[in-house]
Amino acid sequence: MKENRSRGRPPYRALWHAGNQPFGTADSHLSERRSLLESTSSPALICFFGLAYLAYGTWLLISARRLRARGVRVPGVITGLAQSRDPDSSTCKPIFRFTTLEGHEVEVTSKFGEANTPRPGDRVSILYDPQKLRHARIDTGGQRGSAMGRILTGSGLLLVTLSVLITLNIV
């Protein structure tokens, strides 16, 4: 039997040192996954992404709550749809127009895309902050950012919890 001396790898038929399983078996793939999860960088990376999701999701929820508290609700109309930059995506960002209480007409492209957007000509309710007219949003959970905020906050909590469990060798 020839030995494989490239880059310090053990011979093909050798047993894997941690699980005593031959290379290429299903058990060796599970052991490799476990060793990846047990490495010190994986929990830190999972925790980093979890904290990032948690922070962005919380920011979206706080922004949506502030807009609901301070915002002015006015009628508006959808004037068009901006296609997503991704050619494989079916999401569109609605473009809407509304008139402020002071009489200024404003047209805004939504920051959030949706698959089921309202059609041009549809009447919608708009929430806007009088000091930040360009930050106006259509008054739905998806467009205010609260739905995405909940999803990201929940995902962030899940990832942070997972990283703690891996660090404590519970998972």
Surface-to-core class of residue 84, CB atoms within 10 Å of its CB (0-12 exposed, 13-18 middle, 19+ buried): middle
pTM value?
Answer: 0.61
Residue 79: closest CA among 128, 142, 138 = 138
**Tens-place pLDDT, residues 40-85:** 578 889 999 999 999 999 998 898 888 888 889 999 999 998 887 7
Question: What is the spatial distance between Cα 44 and Cα 33, in angstroms, rounded to a whole number?
Answer: 16
* 75: number of Cβ within 10 Å: 10
End-to-end CA distance of the chain: 39
Q: Minimal CA–CA distance to 96: which of 133, 70, 44? A: 133
Confidence of residue 105 (pLDDT cuts 50, 70, 90): very high
> For residue range 9-40, what is the model confidence (pLDDT) as tens digits?
555 444 444 455 555 555 555 555 555 555 55
